Structure formats: C-alpha cells, structure tokens
Amino acid sequence: MIDERIQEKKSGKGFLTGITLNVFMIGLVSFLTDASSEIIYPLMPAFLALASVGHGVAPALLIGILEGFAETASALLKLAGGIWTDRVRRKKPLILAGYGISSVFRPLVGLATAWWQPVVLRVIDRVGKGIRTAPRDALIAESTPKEYCGKAYGFHRSMDHLGAVVGPLLAVALIFFLSGRGTMGQERLLRTVFLLAAVPGALCLAVLIFWIKDVNATPTGKAFHLTWRAFNPNFRLYLTSLLVFTLGNSTDMFLILRAAEVIKGAGGGLAQGRWALAMVPLLWAFFHVFKSASTAPLGALSDRIGRKSLIGLGWGVYALVYLGFALMNRPWQAWPLFAVYALYYGLTEGVEKAFIVDLAPAELRGTALGMYNFVIGIAALPASLLFGYVYVRAGALTAFGYAALLAVFAVALLSLKVRENPGPARA
C-alpha cells in the first residue's frame, strides 16, 4: 500500500504533492477536534475564575494543577500507545478510541460546579490524546514517502492549528449570538458555549470512521523496556535537551491568563461585558493564524536544511517571547508577542517529531515517538505546577523569566551535544 502511494506521488496524481489522501484526512480530523477543543481552551481561565467553579482559589494555581496533571496523564498514555503501535498492524482502532474519549468528555466541562471537576474532565480529554497520538503519528509516517516526512508532519500541524483558528472564532460568534438573544449571565453563557463544542467533535469521529484507512505495517513483536539503553547516546542527548526545555515550557493557558490580566487592567470598553470574554478568543485565533501559516513551510524546510538548527532557533524565539510576556504592560503588546510566539511552534512542532523519525530505526519508530511524547508530557506536571506557584507568589516577571532561562540552557545542550544525522538510534 505504501508503494502504491509513492507511485501515486511520482505520477503527479497525489492529492497534494507529497501529501497522500490518508494524511489529508488525518489532518481534517485534527482540524475538527482542535476546533472543538479551542472553543473551550481560551475561555477556561475565565471559567475557573467564577466563584461557583474556582471557589476562591487563584486561577494561576488552578491552571497549573489542571494542565499539569492533564499533560502528565497524556504522557503516560502516549508512551503506552507508542509501544503498542510497534506491536500491531492496524492503527485506526487506537486512533478512534483516543478521539472518541476526548470528543465525548470534553464538552462536559460546561456542567462542572467545583474546581476539581474541570481537572478530571481535562485529564480524561488528555488521556484520549495520549491514546491516539503515537499511532496517529506512526500512521502519518507510514502513509508518506520518506522524502516528504517533514512536510507531512508540518501539514498535519497546520491543519491542527487551522482548527485552532476556527474554534475561538466559533466561541466569539456563540458569545455574541447567545448574549444577543436575551439576558444571559456570564456563567450560563460560558456553560452553553462549552456544551456546543460537542458538534465539531462529532464531525471529527464521522471523518475518522468513514474516510481514514489503515496501513498494515508489519509489527515487530519485540519486547520493550523503559530504559535509556534502548537507544544510542545521541538520541538520549536529544531527549535530554527536550526535557530541559519542557521543564520551562508550561501550558499556554498562562499566556492567555497574562493577556487577560493586562487587558482587564487597562480598562476601557474592550474589558467590559461580552467584549471581555470575546477579546481573548480573538487574540487566540490571531495567534493560530500565524501558527497554521508557519508550520507546514518550516516543516518542509527542515527536509532540505536539517532539523537541529530550526529546533534550536525555535527554542531561542521561545525564550525571547517569554521575556516579552514578562515585561508586557499594554494590551496591544499581546498581539505582536503572540505572532512571534507562533514562529516558535512553526520551527519546532513538526520538526521535533521528524527529527525523532530520522534518529530512530524503522522497527522502533512508534516506541521512539512514544518516548518523545512521554519525555515532553512527564515534564509538564512540574513545569505547570511550578510556574503557577511562582506566578502567584513572585509575579509574572519571575515566572516567565525562569522559563526563558531554561530554554536558553536547552539550546546550548542541543547545539553542543546533539549530532544531526549520526545513523540509527539503537544502541
């Protein structure tokens, strides 16, 4: 089946050059599920600040708890999914299970009445992500000619980000539509918007069921042991640099919280009423326009000039942007900061995964992707919990400052210790 796709690409009959129909449909699934998720995500800090939900707990602490535990749970399932991916011929059942769990439980946050309930539902949502991520990424690789691997991952991330543009815009449209139909308080408005996020989630499952095909790769059947010894020192150094960077890479919800605080502190009409809710989703949609535009071309660029330099540049951009958020004191400053922050994602998201594929032997590709996701996710708990604590106790300057410093350390480790193409990653 892979040979047929390669021949299709060479004959000029492909859906897009280097992008097979299967990869396009996987991208469409990610588009729809991210649209559903991003209806909720930029409004979550406002929801957690409600007295009936947060019960007086600082939103920054709740964000650290919610996102830290959610991403760690996702990490454990991503590792398990990566191991299982190498052992099975069919990836679609795992992918369907993961997207199904998220699509069903995510909108239920609109029914939450205590701070721990959004935490539990967010963890379940991320469990679904953990189940689907490694088999989905492996299916993308198996559906793509090797010379277009970076482009395929970049295309997938662009579709994901495009959904993240549509999601906040849908949230804004719903805010104005629902608030214009009569008296509706902020709490009821938020709950209704969250429940309506179930619609794109249902469409996502329909596309996955009817249009995505399995590629029956040969399972290895080899035992996996969670040990660094499964991979060579270069691969381990790459994962170590990722770990250092991720320890300072807390959830983006803190950027939303920071922007909302500055907008509210500035006062004016845009900080009042329904505009107070709508401004942050609009800013979040603007951010994702730049993310979607940058990810695919920069992923394709990595196929030509190499991965490591782009990843290091992306981490450097991250450090500069976090310093910018630390010093931000005017609402207009959030717009250019989010635009530049999108460049960090374009330089790293698809490229980091493609670099893992480069360094891993084919029979351990799913396990390598699982290890990659595990390292990133397992650091998310201390990263988000510590960031939230520092944010509350010492302020934004200290919290964003130490995160930028860790990014600089990670760039140094990557640049000085990791080789671009040393050969197979097995020890």
pLDDT in tens, 359-399: 777 767 767 777 787 788 788 889 999 999 999 999 999 99
Instruction: Return the CATH class of domain 2-213+226-417.
Output: mainly alpha
Residue given tokens 């749970």 in the structure block: 73
Pick the more confident residue, 297 or 363: 297
Q: How far is CA 296 from the centre of its chain?
A: 15
pLDDT confidence band for 15 (50 / 70 / 90): very low
In angstroms, rounded to a whole number, what is the distance separating the alpha carbons of residues 292 and 345? Answer: 9
pLDDT for 195 beyond 80: yes
Give the side-chain half-sphere CA count within 13 A for 136: 25
The reported pLDDT for the residue numbered 167 is 96
pLDDT confidence band for 344 (50 / 70 / 90): very high
pLDDT for 98 beyond 50: yes
The reported pLDDT for the residue numbered 104 is 95
**Taking all residues of the chain, what is their mean pLDDT, rounded to a whole number?**
84
* Mean per-residue pLDDT, 145-174: 87
Task: Tell me the domain boundaries of the chain.
Answer: 2-213+226-417
- Which structure tokens are listed for 122? 């967010």
In angstroms, rounded to a whole number, what is the distance separating the alpha carbons of residues 63 and 257? Answer: 9
* Mean per-residue pLDDT, 259-287: 80
3-state secondary structure the chain: CHHHHHHHHHCCCCCECCECHHHHHHHHHHHHHHHHHHHHHHHHHHHHCCHHHHCCCCHHHHHHHHHHHHHHHHHHHHHHHHHHHCCCCCCHHHHHHHHHHHHHHHHHHHHCCCCHHHHHHHHHHHHHHHHHHHHHHHHHHHCCCHHHHHHHHHHHHHHHHHHHHHHHHHHHHHHHHHHCCCCCCHHHHHHHHHHHCHHHHHHHHHHHHHHCCCCCCCCCCCCCCCCHHHCCHHHHHHHHHHHHHHHCCCCCHHHHHHHHHHHHHHCCHHHCHHHHHHHHHHHHHHHHHHHHHHHHHHHHHHHHHCCHHHHHHHHHHHHHHHHHHHHCCCHHHHHHHHHHHHHHHHHHHHHHHHHHHHHCCHHHHHHHHHHHHHHHHHCHHHHHHHHHHHHHHHCHHHHHHHHHHHHHHHHHHHHHHCCCCCCCCCC
Amino acid at 379: A
pLDDT for 31 beyond 70: yes
pLDDT for 350 beyond 80: no
The reported pLDDT for the residue numbered 19 is 86
The reported pLDDT for the residue numbered 222 is 57
pLDDT for 10 beyond 50: no
In angstroms, rounded to a whole number, what is the distance separating the alpha carbons of residues 181 and 199? Answer: 21
* Residue percentage of the chain with pLDDT more than 90: 46
CB-based contacts of 412, cutoff 8 Å, min separation 6: none
**Partners of 174 in the beta sheet?**
none
Out of 35-39, 179-183, 291-295, 416-420, the most confident range is 35-39
In angstroms, rounded to a whole number, what is the distance separating the alpha carbons of residues 64 and 73? Answer: 14
The reported pLDDT for the residue numbered 229 is 67
pLDDT in tens, 48-95: 988 888 887 888 999 999 999 988 888 777 777 777 777 777 889 989
215-235 residues labelled b (16+ CB within 10 A) or e (exposed): bebeebeeebeeeeebbbebb
C-alpha distances out from residue 235 to 115, 135, 265, 421, Å? 40, 21, 46, 10
The reported pLDDT for the residue numbered 254 is 95
Among 272, 48, 99, smallest CA distance to 179 is for 272
* Residue percentage of the chain with pLDDT more than 70: 87
Among 318, 18, 317, 294, smallest CA distance to 158 is for 294
* Mean per-residue pLDDT, 189-203: 95
The reported pLDDT for the residue numbered 230 is 64
pLDDT confidence band for 217 (50 / 70 / 90): low
